[in-house]
Copies of this chain bind each other. A is one copy, B any other.
Amino acid sequence: MTNTDIKIQDIGEFGFIRSIMDNCHFSSEKLVKGIGDDCAVIGPYEDKLFLITTDLLVEDVHFTWGKISPEHLGQKAVAVNLSDIAAMGGKAIHLFLSLAIPKSTRVKDLHSIYRGIKTMCERYGVNILGGDTSASPDRLMINVSVLGEVNEKEVLYRDGARPGDGIYVTGTLGDSAAGLKLLKRELSAPETLANSLIKTHNLPVPCLETGRMIARTRMASAMIDLSDGLLADLRHICEASDAGANLYHSGLPLSPELEALSEINNFDPHDLALSGGEDYRLLVTVPRKYASSFQKTFETEKLAHIYLIGEITRPNRITVLMPDGIEKQLDTKGFEHFISP
């Protein structure tokens, strides 16, 4: 294979992003953060920073007709972006929408997608300010960009984690991945159980209020939202912070639904908790000295549960501490779009 024949499937999404990340800045005025965090950050304007994030949903890559209703699709397209704003401790303000629409798309379905988008925007007080619509030869594509803001003193990045910091997540893990496997019929379950997990996959809830609360405490050292899978996203934190991590296998929070599903289908639910993507929980690191008052804040505010799942370490690798005392170096690969199996 010569150099010119290399396909995107050979180097993967992150490989491609790394290869284009250099020399992207041609003006440094009011620029705080470019590529490499959940959002780009610019400012300050007055005492606020602006956050900008973009997510793309492509038919037959991120969703399939018949597996998600048009309205839920619209909601999800917004939720995944709001989750990125949440990961910086921010508040979402404005939304921009691009749609590439096959000619044969029913206007009714488009309006349902749009109703889903509006539902989410209304819920979180986000304006829909514009975008672009275009024809598409065959597949629907939805690109959503969201502009948010955060108090300059409260913003949280990926690169602040330090050895000794506790690693927390704001909810159970693996449910969304289980829902996806049910949709793909790779797993099976009674209807009520299946519907519950599928709903978690199709209708993620962005942790905006929880993210704001964490930011306001000013105790956290780093934050990210879990979209690629716990191991992959923790790796993003570790790489940005030049650190490693120990994860407590038995500390991974599992929902009763995922546990029930794993019993029926005879698999270890921790695998989905570690590597399944699209949890859209927040992963946050907190210096040990704040651990107890940080956890107390969660008890007081009752917005979400918080689970201690590990500790930031010095060496640049992620180790999973098994209940039997064995240390496991796990494959940190989360969901990557282009790599051929």
CB within 8 Å of B: which residues of A?
3-11, 13, 16-17, 19-20, 23-27, 29-31, 33-36, 39-40, 42, 45-46, 52-62, 93-94, 96-108, 110-111, 114, 118, 121-122, 125-139, 141, 143, 145, 147, 337-338, 340
A129 near B35 (CB under 8 angstroms)? yes
- What is the chain B residue whose CB lies nearest that of A17? B133
Which of A107, A111, A130, A340 has most chain B Cβ within 10 Å? A130
- What is the chain B residue whose CB lies nearest that of A35? B130
- Say whether chain A's binding surface is mostly helix, strand, loop, or mixed: mixed
A100 to B97, CA, bound (A): 15
Given A136-B61, A141-B100, answer yes or no on A6-B107 (Cβ-Cβ < 8 Å): yes
- 7 residue pairs of the A-B complex, CB under 8 angstroms, read A7-B103, A7-B105, A7-B106, A27-B127, A35-B130, A42-B129, A143-B143
A181 to B185, CA, bound (A): 49
Given A61-B135, A127-B31, A141-B141, answer yes or no on A5-B106 (Cβ-Cβ < 8 Å): yes
Given A24-B127, A27-B93, A34-B127, answer yes or no on A54-B7 (Cβ-Cβ < 8 Å): no
Partner of A137, one of B42, B58, B101: B58
* A46 contact set on B, CB distance < 8 A: 45-46
A56 near B7 (CB under 8 angstroms)? no
A108 to B8, CA, bound (A): 9
Given A39-B130, A52-B147, A128-B35, answer yes or no on A137-B60 (Cβ-Cβ < 8 Å): yes
B29 near A93 (CB under 8 angstroms)? yes
Nearest chain B CB to A128 CB, angstrom units: 4
* A27 contact set on B, CB distance < 8 A: 93, 125-127
* A45 contact set on B, CB distance < 8 A: 45-46
Nearest chain B CB to A25 CB, angstrom units: 5
Partner of A40, one of B6, B60, B129, B135: B129
A126 to B54, CA, bound (A): 18
Partner of A55, one of B6, B54, B132: B132
A195 to B303, CA, bound (A): 62
Nearest chain B CB to A264 CB, angstrom units: 31
Nearest chain B CB to A225 CB, angstrom units: 14
* A137 contact set on B, CB distance < 8 A: 58-61, 139
A9 near B130 (CB under 8 angstroms)? no
* A138 contact set on B, CB distance < 8 A: 138-139
Given A5-B106, A130-B34, answer yes or no on A26-B58 (Cβ-Cβ < 8 Å): no
